[in-house]
Amino acid sequence: MCRRGVLWYNGGMKAACAFSAAFAVCLCSLASSGEGVKYRGLFINDEDWGLRPWAVKHFGAEEQIGVGAYAEVFSLMKSKGLNLLWPAMHEGGYEFSSRPENLDLAGMYGIAVGTSHCEPMLRNNCYLPEADKGKWSWTSNRAFLKDYWREGVRRGEGREILWTIGMRGIHDARMPDGRSTEEKKRILEEVFAAQKEMLPDGAPMLFCPYKEVLPIFNAGLKVPAGATIMWVNDNYGYIRRLGGPACEGYGGGIYWHLSYWGLPHGYLQTCTVPPAFMWYELCAKAWNNGARDVWMVNAGDVFQAELLLDCFGRFSARPDAWGPDAQPAALAAWCGSELGLEDALKDRALSHLMEYFNLGFIRKPEHMCVQWTENLPGGVKASLAARYRALLAEDAALEAALPAERRDAFFRTVGFQARFLAISGLVHLEGWTKESAREALAPLYARWDSLDGGKWSGFWIDTLEEKKSKRIGSRHNRWSSQMQWPWNEPPEGSAEYASRREYAATAYRRDVPEPEWLEPCSSAAAGGGAWTRVPGLGTSGRALALLPVKPGAGEGARLDYRLPGGAKTLVLRFLPDFALWPGLGLGVRVSFDGGPAECVAVPKSDSNLGERDAGRQVAVQDNFIEAEIPVPAGAKGFSVFAKDPGVVLDRAGARL
DSSP assignment of 242-276 equals ---GGGTTSEEEEEEESSB--SS--B-S-----HH
Average pLDDT (34-59) is: 92
Lowest mean pLDDT, pick from 210-224, 312-326, 621-635: 210-224
DSSP class of 492:
T
Question: According to CATH, where is 1.20.58 located in the chain?
Answer: 351-503
DSSP class of 281:
I
Is 140's pLDDT higher than 70?
A: yes
Is 9's pLDDT higher than 70?
A: no
Q: Say if residues 2 and 72 touch (Cβ distance below 8 Å).
A: yes
What is the CATH number assigned to the segment(s) 351-503?
1.20.58
Helix (H, G, I), strand (E, B) or coil at 233: strand
> Element (H or E) spanning 197, and its range?
helix 181-198
Choices 3.40.710.10, 3.20.20.520, 3.30.70.260, 3.90.1170.50: CATH for 4-318: 3.20.20.520
Residue 290: CB partners within 8 Å, gap ≥ 6? 242, 243, 244, 247, 252
Residue 466: CB partners within 8 Å, gap ≥ 6? 480, 481, 488
The CA distances from residue 21 to 18, 25, 154, 159, 253, in Å, are 8, 6, 16, 7, 25
pLDDT at residue 475, rounded to an integer: 54
Q: Which residues pair with 649 in a beta bridge?
A: 544, 574
Instruction: Write the secondary structure of 387-449 as one string of H (helix), E (strand) and C (coil).
Output: HHHHHHHHHHHHHHHCCHHHHHHHHHHHHHHHHHHHHHHHHHHHCCCHHHHHHHHHHHHHHHH
Phi, psi at 307, each rounded to 5°: -65, -45
84: confidence class by pLDDT, cuts 50, 70, 90:
very high
490: confidence class by pLDDT, cuts 50, 70, 90:
confident
pLDDT at residue 637, rounded to an integer: 98
Nearest CA-CA partner of 68 in 77, 55, 86 = 55
- Strand 542-547 to 648-655 pairing: antiparallel
* Helix, strand, coil content of the chain in percent (nearest 5): 45, 15, 40
Is 19's pLDDT higher than 50?
A: no
Q: pTM for this one? A: 0.93
Is 33's pLDDT higher than 60?
A: no
Q: How far apart are CA 223 and CA 229, in angstroms?
A: 8
Question: According to CATH, where is 2.60.120.1620 located in the chain?
Answer: 516-655
% of the chain residues with pLDDT over 90: 80
Choices 2.60.120.1620, 3.30.479.10, 3.40.47.10, 2.60.40.420: CATH for 516-655: 2.60.120.1620
504: confidence class by pLDDT, cuts 50, 70, 90:
confident
Lowest mean pLDDT, pick from 205-209, 311-315, 449-453, 605-609: 605-609
Is 4's pLDDT higher than 90?
A: no
Helix (H, G, I), strand (E, B) or coil at 206: strand
Task: Count CB-CB contacts under 10 A for residue 320.
Answer: 10
The CA distances from residue 323 to 310, 318, 329, 533, 541, in Å, are 17, 11, 9, 11, 16
The CA distances from residue 646 to 284, 285, 569, in Å, are 9, 7, 25
For residues 217-238, one letter each, b for 16 or more C-beta atoms within 10 angstroms of the residue's C-beta and e for the rest, the string is bbeebebbeebbbbbbbbbbbb
461: confidence class by pLDDT, cuts 50, 70, 90:
confident
Q: What value does the CA radius of gyration of the chain take, rounded to a whole number of Å?
A: 25
Is 491's pLDDT higher than 70?
A: yes
pLDDT at residue 256, rounded to an integer: 98
Q: In degrees to the nearest 10, what's the CA dihedral of 387, 576, 213, 155?
A: 40
67: confidence class by pLDDT, cuts 50, 70, 90:
very high
Is 439's pLDDT higher than 80?
A: yes
Question: According to CATH, where is 3.20.20.520 located in the chain?
Answer: 4-318
Q: How far apart are CA 106 and CA 511, in angstroms?
A: 56
Q: Is 630 exposed, middle or buried (0-12, 13-18, 19+ CB in 10 A)?
A: exposed
For residues 642-652, one letter each, b for 16 or more C-beta atoms within 10 angstroms of the residue's C-beta and e for the rest, the string is bbbbbbbbbbb
Is 27's pLDDT higher than 70?
A: no
Phi, psi at 571, each rounded to 5°: -115, 120
Overall residue count recorded for the chain in this entry? 656
Residue 461: CB partners within 8 Å, gap ≥ 6? 49, 50, 53, 480, 481
40: confidence class by pLDDT, cuts 50, 70, 90:
very high
| Terminal CA-CA length for the chain | 61
CA-based torsion, 312, 314, 320, 323: positive or negative: negative
Q: How far apart are CA 66 and CA 47, in angstroms?
A: 13
pLDDT at residue 130, rounded to an integer: 87
Helix (H, G, I), strand (E, B) or coil at 609: coil
Q: In terms of pLDDT, which residue wins out, 440 or 5?
A: 440
Residue 301: CB partners within 8 Å, gap ≥ 6? 44, 46, 47, 49, 50, 51, 54, 259, 268, 459
7: confidence class by pLDDT, cuts 50, 70, 90:
very low
Q: How far apart are CA 247 and CA 227, in angstroms?
A: 11
Residue 552: CB partners within 8 Å, gap ≥ 6? 527, 528, 645
Q: How far apart are CA 562 and CA 285, in angstroms?
A: 31
pLDDT at residue 488, rounded to an integer: 84
Q: How far apart are CA 502 and CA 293, in angstroms?
A: 39
Q: How far apart are CA 51 and CA 57, in angstroms?
A: 10
Q: How far apart are CA 306 and CA 187, in angstroms?
A: 40
Is 643's pLDDT higher than 90?
A: yes
pLDDT in tens, 535-590: 999 999 999 999 999 999 999 999 999 999 999 999 999 999 999 999 999 999 99
pLDDT at residue 14, rounded to an integer: 33
Average pLDDT, the chain: 91
Phi, psi at 377, each rounded to 5°: -60, 150
The CA distances from residue 457 to 77, 448, 464, 625, in Å, are 21, 7, 18, 40
Q: Say if residues 422 and 393 touch (Cβ distance below 8 Å).
A: no
Lowest mean pLDDT, pick from 15-24, 381-390, 550-559: 15-24
Q: Say if residues 612 and 560 touch (Cβ distance below 8 Å).
A: no
